Amino acid sequence: MHVPTLRDGDLVLRPKRPADAEAITAACQDPEIPRWTFVPSPYSLADARAFLESSAAEEAAGKSVNLLAVGAHDDRLLGSFSLMELDHEPGHGEIGYWVAAEARGRGIATRAVRLLADWARDELALTRIVILPHKDNPASRRVAEKAGFADTGELVGAPRGGVEEPVYAVYTRTAP
């Protein structure tokens, strides 16, 4: 699968590189990232390297597309955005993300989710994309809404993360 580089003004979504390990490690020291995601805590450089390796393996198997959001002018890490579960069923994908603390509140997540969702629709012919923010994470839920995803009112677990309890809200975007 071709892993794209996507652009929206000063925001770039690009493939991950081994050289990103230190910046990912630094960003994942923020306690808000493991609070709402499956990122381990504490987070080490070894975790970042394993994340990069697993991302590459999942991409090679056609299961996901994993991109980093960076500044267009300085390549500074802003966040991580993935399109996952591509092997779940035809036309289906799930977007997951985290944003570095210093990049929050600037609309980066909304712009990045739109870019990735539009690319997935246009290039992968996905017809249903979901985002599963934790029900108690209002910022992530707002991102989904601003990016054009509709709250279904449904709560689910996340077996991939070992969470059976229905604590994740389901937001969907269906292609016309």
Residue 154 lies in a domain: yes
Residue 1 lies in a domain: no
Q: Is the dihedral of CA 14, 108, 142, 122 positive or negative?
A: negative
Residue 51 lies in a domain: yes
Residue 64 lies in a domain: yes
Q: What's the maximum distance between 2 C-alpha atoms anywhere in the chain?
A: 42
Residue 91 lies in a domain: yes
pLDDT in tens, 130-169: 999 999 999 999 999 999 999 999 999 986 778 788 999 9
Residue 116 lies in a domain: yes
Domain carrying residue 141: 6-174
CATH of the domain at 38: 3.40.630.30
Residue 53 lies in a domain: yes
pLDDT higher than threshold 70 for residue 176: no
* Count: domains in the chain: 1
- For 145, phi and psi rounded to 5 degrees? -65, -45
Residue 60 lies in a domain: yes
The share of the chain scoring above pLDDT 70, in percent, equals 99
Q: Which CA distances in Å does 28 have to 10, 23, 72, 147? A: 23, 9, 21, 24
Q: What is the mean predicted confidence (pLDDT) over 7-23?
A: 97
pTM (whole model) above 0.85: yes
